[in-house]
Chain A
Amino acid sequence: MKNLASKILKPKVLLAAFMAFAVAGCSDYLDREPLSDYLSSDFYKSDAAVQQGAAGCYHMLYQDLHKNGAMFPTMMLWDMYTPFGIERSDNASIGVGNIDLRTNYSVEQMWAQLYTAVARCNNVLYGAEPFKSELTSRGLQHLAEIKVLRAYYYMHLVSLWGDVPFLTEPTKPQDDLSKIARTPWKEIVSYLLDDLDKAAADLPWTYSDTKDWGRIDKSVAFGIRARLALYAGSWCKFGFGMNAEKDLNKGTEYFTIAASSAKSIINESGRKLCPSYPDLFTNVGQQTAAAKAENMLQIMFTSNGSKKVHWLSVGEQSRIVGQSGRFPTQMLVDQFETKNGLRIDKDPSYKANDPFTNRDPRLKYTIYTNGETIIANSGGKKWKFVMDVYNPKVKSYDEAGNMTLMDNKDYEGPVSQYGYIKSGVGYLWKKYNHFDDEDNWTATYNIVLMRYAEILLTYAEAKIELNQIDATVYDAIDQVRGRVGMPGILIVDPTRAGDQAKMRQIVRRERKVELAKEALYLFDMRRWRLGSMQNAEPTYGYPFATGVDASKNIYPNGYSQATADMIPSFTSFGTESDLNDIPSYAAYADKLRMRDKDRSKSWNDRYYLWPIPQTERNKAPWLTQNDGYAQ
């Protein structure tokens, strides 16, 4: 009897246990929320959340195409898409135009990156909207920073592509995207100018805490407003896009906004020019108070933690210390005045066989020229060597000053085909590449996106285009020139006073040399509509040397062989190319290193805007294409 009971009881108990266990397991065992991530619903309701969200929006300034820890901000290529800069090979660069931009990887990625950046901003702004009352002024300030960033990203979209899809809120999976077409650029610009004005109200002129160095302040908000308005004014005045559509009244309106925005920075921000121009572009220099006062917006890098390094310098070195893929051109070199403040063809003291002495000091701050000493800082080793376009050996000096001759890898050897002599035209970028203070492979200097000098020039240019040329205009330009010891514009040529054409020439020239390689000239060339004029000739460089005899080890310097007639022509006075300082080398072209033979054939006015990437139009066929690119 007992046995039987146990036989029946046991299974019953077991079964009950089974059921209990199974039911107990049902409760909330499967409810697993993210542990180290955050759920997006109702997230941006605190200052701290908005602050970290803002950092995610700033992060897009890095513009890294390759996502591999080390960054290459793509905007640093933009100058190479103008005749002032070149990339490694002929006929492969966007600047030369021999490729189909509709399917170009870089164009597509820039489009994608900029919109990713816009969406980052939209997500935080939209997410924080219901909780604005719960934020302190610090939280609202972060939202204003994000608005400025969004305007900055949209400014590039409009400048590069014209009419673009314009979203100020995040998209959702259920949205009907085909309803989102391209918004006319003027509508976008109006919205942004207004939004920047509003954002500025929530931002301070200066941050009291040094921890906020690098954060967007009121002067950046006004600075971007000024830049965008200046661009828009030029587009309206000189023509937008392939067909050069104009709108003079609107242009005046925009120039007025540009001038007033710049003016308020000049008058109220307390920003100043840094007495040392090179300090603006080195790691140590940028951390001085004077440089911080001029550099308004930058992509900031750090040597802290797992270093945020960038590869800007890695691709701009002599082959002796690194790699090279981007070079300046003769045309840019020839924009720099002599130290007398004159264009090279106008100054009798300028010698074709000694072209780099007595020039605007900014030439040597910006470009390495033949005979210049390069500071190499690579792999924990620092030394110097002399740049030499003409000799298979170069002099090099160790830190103690001992001289040795070393192989000139740009001249011959397996990598010379990529060097500045065989791939470039005899020049290297020096701006950012002066390595006294850090290793060129792991550079952490900041890349400057906006500085006070630009504001001064923007102010001057807007006022000149408005034909309101007064003392504040001369002063703005002279401040920039004076910092590097260049003579005042009216001292050099008093007839400039009140002459709109001459003033336009000098402010444009100043912009070209002061802001060279700062990712602005692509937009300047477009808005000044200089594309066809500037791309009329191939890319030129150093003069060839004659009488080379390797067997006797004779390697003459080509520059010192240059004859007096080897000075470029800027055509006759008052012509467009004269007024825009566009040199021609045709007269002695055969004596010069030449690249991009077909440059003139490849220019087309459609390049005033890039095409909407083909992959984007495959996904969104409702987007129209820009003029000149087959639909």
Chain B
Amino acid sequence: MEGDTVWKIIKNLSDQMSLRCSVNHQDEKNSPKINEKSMRKLQKSLVFLFIFCATLVSQAQAQVVKGRVLDDGGIPVIGANIIEKGTSNGVATDVKGSFVLKVQSLKSTLVISSVGYQKVEVPINGNATLEVRLKEDAKVIDEVMVVGYAKQKKATLTGSVSAVDGDKLKQRSVASLSTALQGTMPGVTIRQTSGQPGADGASILIRGVGSINSSTSPLVLVDGVEMDMNQLDMSTVESVSVLKDAASASIYGSRASNGVILITTKRGKQGKLQVTYSGYATIQKPTNMPDPVSAWEYLQAELNAWDNAGISVTPLQRQQQLKLIEDQKSYKPDNWNRYDTDWKKETIKEQALMHNHTVNLTGGNENVQIFTTASFLDQDGLIENNSYKRTNFRLNGDAKITSWAKLAVESSYRESVSKSPGYSTPKSIINQALFMLPTLSAARELDGNWGYGKNGANPTAMASASGLKTGIGTDLIAGGTLTITPLKNWDVSGQYSYNRTIGRSRNILTPYKTSLKGAYMGQTPAEKNLYEGYSETLKNYYRLQSTYSLDFKEHKTSFILGFEQSDRTISDFGVSMGGFDLDNYYLSNGDKKTSSGSGSAADRALQSYFGRINYSYADKYLLELNGRYDGSSNFIKKNRWGFFPSVSAGWVISRENFMESTQSFLSLLKIRASYGILGNQDIGQYAYASTIVSEDNGETYPYVFNKDFATGLVQLYQANPDILWEKSSQLNLAVDATFWNGRLTFTGEYFIKKIDDMLMRLPLPYYTGMRPAWDNVGSMENKGWELTLGYKDRKGDFSYGITLNLSDVKNEITDLSGYISADKSLVEGYPVNGYWGYLTDGYFKDWEDVANSPKISGSARPGYVKYKKVNTAEGAKLLEIDNNDKVYLGDPYAHYEYGVTLNGGWKDFDLTVFVQGVGKRNIYMSGVGLKPFANGANLFSHQLDSWTPENPNAAYPILVPEANSADNFQLSDKWLQDASYMRLKNVVLGYTLPKSICSKIKLAGLRVYVSGQNLYTKSNFFKGYDPEVSYSGGVGGEFYPIMQTYTFGLDIKF
């Protein structure tokens, strides 16, 4: 026995488990015999281990307590922890639930705990033998999930719902809730595409792209009311539920086609008033940035490019360029004869700070409970004059008015202030700083003026001296729910909520003066300007709902019937004015002749009846029916109403008698299936109508008479009043399994989502002169699967858990009435926005190779990208590459997305490590992100690896000027860059001060933590570019970097 090592013990334990598994169908009485030997061995091993440990810790004379730990149903609890209170002396139960513990005194108390059960304390009271019954922990077995208009027990849920606890999200220490959700749930694709303060929320797709033209974003409801989740203060979030399948979402009918995210805020709890302060400070750094080359490298590359392209350079020109290169290498820039400006360093900060402070107050008595919170977030950006500040208040109160009436109120107020430079956008400024030529001018010239840059555009000056755009957003929500219980099990509740969102902008544009080599070059932009804007969204929400449940023996039923309506009115206006000679930027001071104003308004209303019936027998056979009858003002009267039903059923196999033999380890085995129909009406207001407008998407149609504006009206679209909802149907099949009372959990899901009647504008010939009307024509399909695996356990002071999720979804357009879009982003049988391009075959080796191989145009030279001729049909020109040689190369979506969370706790320390990744994804970069010299840009150092006869396997083709390089950067398999990645997304290490010390310093609790976000990334993407960010913009490849963060935080409970 002394020879047994810990490893051996663990091996024994696992042998044990596998044997248990393999005898599922055997007579239960036999199994202990089979296992007796190994079991005894295990028992001995464990006992030894803990005795050994205990001996080390305690010198006291020991007495022995023996006992068994059983659950409610008398089944032994394996691996329960028994600890002598106030000591670290403990032991775990064996497979029979038995334990033997040497205690210091028979007057001690034993603390018995096990995952999935409520902790109990049992005084020994001198008994040497104890039998302890553990109650199943309601949290695990009775774990409830927030679903549409109700809460349901997870164990008997039949729809596909993922949920995450608010406290876990808060740990991530990021500004936007959507970003915090990333990787926590399978089938929910979340991508943070920008790190701009105030705009760093992530895009969310649930189970793939759900439409081509209508919205693809899920419906987000906070306490039942539509809202922007990124404006929430994360410390107020109790839970986030995502309704993924039709069964769980169809109760939201016409808005649920892209899934539904339900966010519940925290509520007051009965008990002593408790005040909590949480705060953190974060240092943010870009995850990645490309590295532009210095002046001499650029000049050398330019000369090489001319030579490579066969552009004639006069000897004089060459001599001058070579001298310049030598000078640039030998001397520092003097900002007169030579510029070598590091625009990146001049403009972009190394790091930016973010800090957040929250105070919560909660408490109440049996009649009134409140939860209130105030928080402040301050996030700095990577350039001057770029920041975001947000203040949130929330008050949630619950009151029992009479024995049969309750009132719940929610109110919140948010104010956020975002700032950015007056000229251009932060994203564009950052990118200009990355690609602007170092040779153009200094950031600041010797005469003190700003450098002239590119025709006056100077990113450093734009960031710090071009004025300021200030956006102030406020959000007021006030609402309440009155719930009356006329009879037992019957609730009737009425809810009203009012939401006013105001966006107020004040943009001041101040020109900066530029010079070049001592010559004043004028100012950029040419004129001063002020824009004052206001936009307002008013929403009203009304709900009346009746909930009734009736249980009869093993039959359980519940019914929900409800009515709801909501309306939304959007209005805005704005005025712009110039001529602020005296620099007081208020409309009364400007030149009225330069003023222009605009304003518009639109409204929308929805009305719905919804219902649900749940039936279960013995918690074993589960059935749920949902339906919603929805009316939308987005359609004409006769097409306005739609019915969206769903059905789902589950079978809890583990509750069947024949499964009794496995009950000791298989706590739950459930299979479930659902089918339902959802709608999508989010194509904007008045889509059915043919309207005459003076403005469309910011474009106006005035003409000028007598040098002054005259409003112009136009009808842009043909109208189709007969349009209907987009419809989607979804089939979901799933298995849930829980082992050892929640220690190991598994969920697997498979779904097929079909989207029909998609609203498309199939192109009209230009000669009609109109843009096409909407029509319900397209169909597509998303198929996918999701896996979740979790394991958690505790060994003495050490607790740990791991959850893993993995999912994939494939999109395919199934019907477009034969239409193929010109850019092939829409082709039947392929995903939406699929990539179509050429296949490549390395580079042209030499002129002979050029002459004998197919090519796009006559500009091909050795070192150019060589393409494969695909279309060899009769009549095809075999030496020419054309559109017919384009093939499908892949889709732009993330595949095999995964998230792995490891958490561990040891005594007062806790650690969470979160890894997130994408197994397969491709990105085609364009413009500056791809081509050397694109749009007059500098090179990035990774682009220097270009083809020469000596370097035939270079990453880039031969370096030639942009005007000559078009053939090389065609969308092709060569440039479809692998953007898969694995990322250490988040690590949190916390320490909670022991209660004993806390009470000494008069605190209820104190926790400190350090955390980091995006700490390490493994990827094959372009060097300097982050695989997660979104790249776009006028010159291609533009982005606002997402951040790597380092956080120190503190939570204090008073």
Contacts and interface: CB of A to CB of B under 8 A. Distances in A.
B942 to A, nearest CB: 22
Contact of A67 (B685, B690, B699, B936): B699
Interface string A101-122: 0000000100110011111101
Interface string A587-621: 00000000000000000000000000101101110
DSSP class of A's interface residues: helix, strand, loop or mixed? mixed
11 contacts: A10-B404, A14-B492, A56-B714, A58-B703, A164-B767, A171-B764, A171-B769, A173-B718, A550-B319, A616-B766, A619-B765
A214 B705 contact: yes
B693 A287 contact: no
B718 A120 contact: no
Interface string A401-437: 0001011000010110100000000000000000000
Contacts of A51: 710
Contact of B713 (A32, A53, A118, A441): A53
A43 interface: yes
A22 B544 contact: yes
Contacts of B773: 173
A412 B963 CA distance: 18
Contacts of A55: 701-703, 710-713
A269 B552 CA distance: 97
Interface in A304-326: 304-308, 322-323
A306 B765 CA distance: 34
Interface string A549-584: 010000000000000000000000000000000000
Contacts of A287: 707
A206 interface: no
A282 to B, nearest CB: 14
B822 interface: yes
Given A53-B712, A173-B719, A214-B704, 18 more contacts: A7-B486, A14-B486, A30-B631, A32-B603, A32-B685, A35-B600, A37-B686, A38-B713, A52-B712, A55-B701, A55-B702, A56-B713, A120-B769, A303-B593, A379-B511, A379-B514, A380-B522, A620-B765
Interface in A276-314: 287, 300-308
B1013 interface: no
A439 B576 CA distance: 20
A412 B320 contact: yes
Contacts of A502: none
B596 interface: yes
A504 to B, nearest CB: 36
Ranked nearest first, the 5 interchain pairs of A and B with the lowest CB-CB distance are A119-B769, A379-B522, A381-B522, A305-B596, A55-B712
Interface stretch (B225-233, B604-612, B973-981): B604-612
Interface residues of B, number: 96
Contact of A39 (B607, B689, B703, B720): B689
B455 to A, nearest CB: 7
B461 to A, nearest CB: 12
Contacts of A444: 707
B707 A26 contact: no
A449 B1049 CA distance: 68
A94 interface: no
A498 interface: no
Contacts of A116: 766, 769-770
Contact of B437 (A112, A307, A414): A414
A308 B769 contact: no
A619 B763 contact: yes
Nearest to B711: A52
| Most chain B C-beta atoms within 10 Å of own C-beta, residue among A31, A61, A613 | A31
B526 interface: yes
Interface residues of A, number: 98
Contacts of B685: 32, 34
B411 interface: no
Contacts of B705: 211-215, 300
Contacts of A412: 317, 320
A486 to B, nearest CB: 32
Interface of B: 302, 316-317, 319-320, 404, 437, 439-440, 455-456, 484, 486-487, 490, 492, 511, 514, 517, 519-524, 526-527, 542, 544, 546, 563, 565, 567, 571, 576, 593-596, 599-607, 609, 631-633, 637, 640, 685-686, 689-694, 699, 701-715, 718-720, 763-770, 772-773, 775, 822, 936, 961, 963
A213 B607 contact: no
A93 to B, nearest CB: 13
Contacts of B571: 35
Contacts of B511: 379-380
A548 interface: yes
Given A112-B766, A305-B594, A120 B714 contact: yes
Given A29-B567, A35-B603, A379-B524, A177 B765 contact: yes
Given A56-B713, A306-B596, A7 B766 contact: no
A180 interface: yes
Nearest to B404: A10
Contacts of B704: 214, 300-302, 308
A49 interface: yes
A479 interface: no
A304 B706 CA distance: 11
B149 to A, nearest CB: 15
A190 to B, nearest CB: 20
Contacts of A108: 766
A243 B456 CA distance: 51
Contacts of B514: 379
A546 B767 CA distance: 55
Contacts of B713: 38, 49, 52-53, 55-56
A191 interface: no
Contacts of B631: 30
Interface in A110-149: 111-112, 115-120, 122-123
Given A21-B544, A171-B770, A406 B519 contact: yes
Interface string A1-45: 000000100110010001001100110011111111111110100
Contact of A59 (B567, B603, B712): B712
Nearest to A617: B765
A7 B594 contact: no
Contacts of B576: 305-306
| Most chain A C-beta atoms within 10 Å of own C-beta, residue among B439, B693, B707, B773 | B707
Given A37-B693, A616-B765, A407 B517 contact: yes
Contact of B484 (A14, A177, A381, A396): A14
A415 B709 CA distance: 37
Nearest to A64: B699
Contact of B601 (A35, A322, A406): A35
Nearest to A439: B526
Contact of A123 (B546, B694, B715): B715
B607 A380 contact: no
A323 B563 contact: no
Nearest to B710: A55
B605 A115 contact: no
| Most chain A C-beta atoms within 10 Å of own C-beta, residue among B320, B690, B699 | B690
Contacts of A211: 705-706, 708
A586 interface: no
A374 to B, nearest CB: 15
Contacts of A89: 963
A73 interface: no
A550 B316 contact: yes
Given A304-B594, A380-B522, A34 B486 contact: no
A615 B823 CA distance: 11
B320 A550 contact: yes
Contacts of A112: 766
Contact of A34 (B319, B440, B593, B686): B686
B601 A36 contact: yes
Contact of B640 (A30, A59, A177): A30
Nearest to A51: B710
Contacts of B719: 40, 173
B894 to A, nearest CB: 32
